Amino acid sequence: MGTHGEFDRLALQSCRKLRNEYPELQIEVVLTNLHAIWKGNKWDSSPYSDVSTVLYDIEEAHYKQRIALSNRKMIDACAALICYVDETVCRSGAKTAMRYAKRKDLRIVNLFDERDKPFYGMTYEEISETCNKIFNDSSKEQ
């Protein structure tokens, strides 16, 4: 897993818990650059001291491309992809990675569920009413 998003953090936390039951579980965290462990003015790899870390040779790539390149390299090195991707979203790095995994014919486990959306099952009127209520409540607080 990577180090940039909430899903990465949750995946690492879940893998650490699973390792209690399956001590042979190997966990690898991919750093897209060394800034992930540079804290203030010193190196701090303690958040990853109990796992293996990988840093691909992508330092020459533009910083905006490093996550996408890391995702591709991770996918190239695995047999399955576990992800959380809303395929209805126009653009996302996770969606791009999932499409790449599909082209590579990997097994894909997408944990996304339509019911996770905040307005799931609501009509347009209900969504509008909810948004207006939220907006009005936040305006009163200011």
Under a CB-based contact definition with an 8 Å cutoff, are residues 33 and 5 in contact? no
Top-confidence residue, 114 or 96: 96
- Flag whether pLDDT at 142 surpasses 60: no
CB 19 within 8 A of CB 25: yes
As beta bridge partners, residue 82 has 109
What does pTM read for this prediction?
0.70
- Domain spans of the chain, in order of start: 6-111
pLDDT at 73 over 90: yes
pLDDT at 116 over 70: yes
In this predicted structure, what is the pLDDT of residue 106? Answer: 95
Asked if 27 contacts 19 with a C-beta cutoff of 8 angstroms, the reply is yes
Name the pLDDT band for 97 (thresholds 50, 70, 90).
very high
